[in-house]
Amino acid sequence: MPVTGLAALLVVATLGEGGAEPTSLLVWHALLVALVIVELLLAGSAEPTWSPATGPLAGFFVFFGVALVGAVRAPYGYAAWLYLIELAAFAAIVWLASRRGPDLLSIVATPLMLAASVQSVLFLVQWYVQGQTRPAGTFLNPNHLAGWLVAVVLLAWGPPLLQRRAGRPELSRLVLLGAPVAVAMIHVASRGALLGLGAGLLALLILSWRRLPRRWKNVAVASGLVILVGAGVGLALRFRQTDPFRYQRVKIWRASLGVVAEDPWFGSGPRQFTYAAKNHQFPDGDGPLRHDRGFRVTHSDWIRVPCELGLPGAAVLLLTIGALVLCVRRRRRRVELPTSSALAIAPLIALGVQASVDNLSTRPALYLLAGALLGSLLTTRDDRGRFLPWPSRWLLALLLLFVFAIGELAPYLAWREVRGLPRGRLDAEQSSRLERALRRNRVHPDFWSRRAEHLAGSGADWGVDGYAEAREAAERAVRLQPAGPEFHIALARVESLACRTLFHDAATRQRASAAFERAEDLDRYTPFIPLERAGFLLDTGDPAAAAGAAERALELEPESVLPRLMLADALLESDARDGVRRAEELLEAAREKAVRWSAWAETGQYARDLLVLDGSDVRRIEEKLARRRERGH
């Protein structure tokens, strides 16, 4: 049962965006908790014969401690909690795999290879039948699918190469199952997966070379060359396609290291990089717009660690890997490493190499597979039968169930409630769903932000009490995620709506403007925040400040149209001495930019919002220009 359950877990985790989609996440988390409880209460009743090696295990606990410190300091507590759950899930799969002993990988290799073949067939159906340009099977990213396929193929081909026990039927089955995988890999043409495949094949050959007869060596070398050449052909075909962002990763890595430089001791915090990266964006160098393409991840797990956990976290990780390597070498030298455990080495190397250019850790299917490989590699014989006493096992099982119910099931049910809800004012049934979500998960800032938007509505039917409730909900969202610019914007919108409809005073206008400015500080390369602030200031009687905000947006996107119109509007309202002349120049430039970049405006919403000329805005500015000319300005 435990081995079957582990195999099922590794397959189930590939479903739903590689295990990251909320429903898929809940399912495999529930299965993992069940397997741990079974191991605690049933398998633990007998004397265990296998357990994880203590050296690398101690390194992992130190790493978890560093992550825990970072989570306590993190501004976005809920995201940090999710990171700790990921680490706990990884540790659990390592522990379960190590408890199953060295034969685990030999058993699960066949069902995993079958799943890889099914994934590859699905990929080809998506490519040829459904016409998708970048299909990914049940994964979200084709590079992640390719990484998983490479690891599984290396694992499946390990037994015949390392153990030399495969007969003709087994080899035929491997070739049959591997054929669609090879075709899918050629189509994916993932550069990172190709690097991992090359490193894994090299490791597999080195490990098995002395034991292989000459005929097997020739077959192994020929097979490896065929796979590499096939993947190389697919990669060459991909390079023939125009891709202005082909080498964007190097710039992303350089920008990501800026996050480390800001706080080398602690980094941005666990799962906080997405927000820290907002102020490290760079011009993409393609087209008229500078910041229409940004980055949210490091595109390298080896860089992600120092970015989120600082240099101490990276140092602990390297020491842990060093302890793992020394442990494996020592056991191989003493002939204490079973050949079946050595099956994990090649796929682990492949995953590690690809992780240098991809964030494989964002897909549970990949880090769970890596955890199972590590657990099998670290498994050691434990003849003393050490295990927790019965009361501790029951207590730990109950604690796991409690954490799963509070930290997993309740947030999932809350997510189900808000899924599909519109932003803004809700009807009675929708409002009830939002309140149920808040009862089940009171630490998610987006739920409170939604509540603020619902209470504020359009401002047509609210009063002071409604404003107070909306403001409190928006402020609570900010307290739960002070580094999120979107929550400061939500607070600013509540204040700006109150300034327009309720109070009409300078104090409320100042609070709204300050919230907008704080959002700008947290997201310096998004022109829409200063544009929204400019529109608010223009509506509430501060055209000079509105002109400054519009100029800030124009600095970010010098070729854009919308900031020019906003700036022209503000200049005409401010009665500046050269306002008419500058407004005329800005309007003419806006028309010229809109014509020049009309084709580019269809590339996405960001481009449409900034490059399309709004006729109503133009007419309003022309009317103001006409009135100013009549007055002789």
Asked if 88 and 209 sit in the same domain, the reply is yes
Residue 332 lies in a domain: yes
pLDDT tens digit string along 334-354?
Answer: 666 777 777 899 999 999 999
Residue 412 lies in a domain: no
Percentage above 70 pLDDT, the chain: 90
pLDDT tens digit string along 406-442?
Answer: 999 999 999 999 999 999 999 999 999 999 999 999 9
pLDDT of 220 above 90 = no
For 52, phi and psi rounded to 5 degrees? -75, 150
SS3 for 213? Answer: coil
Percentage above 90 pLDDT, the chain: 69
d(CA 526, CA 520): 8
535 with 546: CB under 8 angstroms? yes
pLDDT tens digit string along 503-539?
Answer: 999 999 999 999 999 999 999 999 999 999 999 999 9
Asked if 354 and 466 sit in the same domain, the reply is no
574 with 543: CB under 8 angstroms? yes
DSSP 207: H
Give DSSP secondary structure letters for 175-193: HHHHHHHHHHHHHH--HHH
Asked if 466 and 370 sit in the same domain, the reply is no
Structure-derived torsion over alpha carbons of residues 74, 352, 122, 244, reported in degrees to the nearest 10: 80
Q: Which of 382, 417, 440 is the last residue of a domain?
A: 382
Instruction: Tell me what pLDDT residue 236 has.
Output: 63
Whose CA is closest to 413, among 424, 405, 425, 403? 405
d(CA 465, CA 478): 20
pLDDT of 229 above 80 = no
d(CA 10, CA 159): 19
Q: What confidence category does residue 383 fall into, taking pLDDT thresholds of 50, 70 and 90? A: low
CA 13 to chain centre: 16
Write out the two tokens for 45. Answer: 């009743």
Contacts of 45 (CB under 8 A, 6+ apart): none
> Where is average pLDDT lowest: 157-166, 270-279, 372-381, 408-417?
157-166
Contacts of 591 (CB under 8 A, 6+ apart): 613, 618
- Looking at residues 79-84, what average pLDDT do you find? 97
Instruction: Tell me what pLDDT residue 49 has.
Output: 73
Q: Which of 347, 382, 417 is the last residue of a domain?
A: 382
Residue 352 lies in a domain: yes
Helices (H), 42-53: none
Q: Is 129 exposed, middle or buried (0-12, 13-18, 19+ CB in 10 A)?
A: exposed
Write out the two tokens for 592. Answer: 């010229």
- The per-residue b/e assignment along 108-122, b for 16 or more CB within 10 angstroms, e otherwise, is bbbebbebbbbbbeb
Residue 538 lies in a domain: yes
Asked if 251 and 364 sit in the same domain, the reply is yes
Asked if 86 and 184 sit in the same domain, the reply is yes
The structure's pTM equals 0.92
> Where is average pLDDT lowest: 30-44, 308-322, 541-555?
30-44
d(CA 281, CA 304): 16
Return the half-sphere exposure (C-beta side, CA atoms, 13 A cut-off) of residue 494: 32
pLDDT of 230 above 80 = no
Return the half-sphere exposure (C-beta side, CA atoms, 13 A cut-off) of residue 310: 17
Instruction: Tell me what pLDDT residue 385 has.
Output: 57
> Where is average pLDDT lowest: 283-287, 497-501, 603-607?
283-287
Residue 23 lies in a domain: no
Asked if 375 and 439 sit in the same domain, the reply is no
Whose CA is closest to 565, among 584, 542, 552? 584
Instruction: Tell me what pLDDT residue 399 has.
Output: 94
Between the two ends of the chain, the Cα-to-Cα distance in Å is 86
Q: Is 213 exposed, middle or buried (0-12, 13-18, 19+ CB in 10 A)?
A: exposed
pLDDT of 1 above 70 = no
Other CB atoms within 10 Å distance of the CB of residue 142: 23
Residue 6 lies in a domain: no
Asked if 455 and 544 sit in the same domain, the reply is yes
- Looking at residues 140-149, what average pLDDT do you find? 96
d(CA 453, CA 423): 7
Instruction: Tell me what pLDDT residue 241 has.
Output: 59
Mean predicted lDDT score pLDDT of the chain: 90
CATH number at 576 reads 1.25.40.10
> Where is average pLDDT lowest: 151-165, 270-284, 492-506?
151-165
92 with 32: CB under 8 angstroms? yes
Instruction: Tell me what pLDDT residue 235 has.
Output: 58
471 with 481: CB under 8 angstroms? no
One-letter identity of residue 399: L
More confident site: 194 or 124: 124
- Looking at residues 157-165, what average pLDDT do you find? 71
Q: Which of 382, 404, 438 is the last residue of a domain?
A: 382
- Radius of gyration of the CA atoms of the chain, in A: 29
SS3 for 307? Answer: helix
Residue 324 lies in a domain: yes
Domain that includes residue 338, residue range: 53-283+291-382
Q: Which residue has the tokens 């993409």?
A: 284
More confident site: 514 or 163: 514
- Looking at residues 38-54, what average pLDDT do you find? 72
201 with 185: CB under 8 angstroms? no
18 with 144: CB under 8 angstroms? yes
Instruction: Tell me what pLDDT residue 164 has.
Output: 61
- Looking at residues 179-204, what average pLDDT do you find? 88
pLDDT of 217 above 90 = no
Asked if 124 and 270 sit in the same domain, the reply is yes
pLDDT tens digit string along 103-123?
Answer: 888 889 999 999 999 999 999
Other CB atoms within 10 Å distance of the CB of residue 239: 12
Instruction: Tell me what pLDDT residue 336 has.
Output: 65
d(CA 394, CA 417): 33
Residue 514 lies in a domain: yes
Asked if 370 and 477 sit in the same domain, the reply is no
Other CB atoms within 10 Å distance of the CB of residue 37: 18
Number of residues written out for the chain? 633
Give DSSP secondary structure letters for 528-575: HHHHHHHHHHHHTT-HHHHHHHHHHHHHH-TT-SHHHHHHHHHHHHHT
Q: What confidence category does residue 588 fall into, taking pLDDT thresholds of 50, 70 and 90? A: very high
Instruction: Tell me what pLDDT residue 175 has.
Output: 81
Q: What confidence category does residue 248 fall into, taking pLDDT thresholds of 50, 70 and 90? A: confident
Give DSSP secondary structure letters for 126-163: HHHTS--SS--TTSSSHHHHHHHHHHHHHHHTHIIIII
Write out the two tokens for 599. Answer: 């084709």
Asked if 225 and 168 sit in the same domain, the reply is yes
Asked if 331 and 439 sit in the same domain, the reply is no
Asked if 351 and 468 sit in the same domain, the reply is no
Give Cα separations from 474 to 239, 445, 492 (angstroms): 47, 9, 9
Furthest-apart CA atoms within the chain: distance in Å: 98
pLDDT tens digit string along 530-564?
Answer: 999 999 999 999 999 999 999 999 999 999 999 99
* Neighbouring-strand partners of residue 379: 52
> What long-range pairs does 460-468 form, CB within 8 A, spacing at least 24?
460/501, 462/501, 462/502, 463/502, 464/502, 467/494, 467/498, 467/502
Total number of domains in the chain: 2
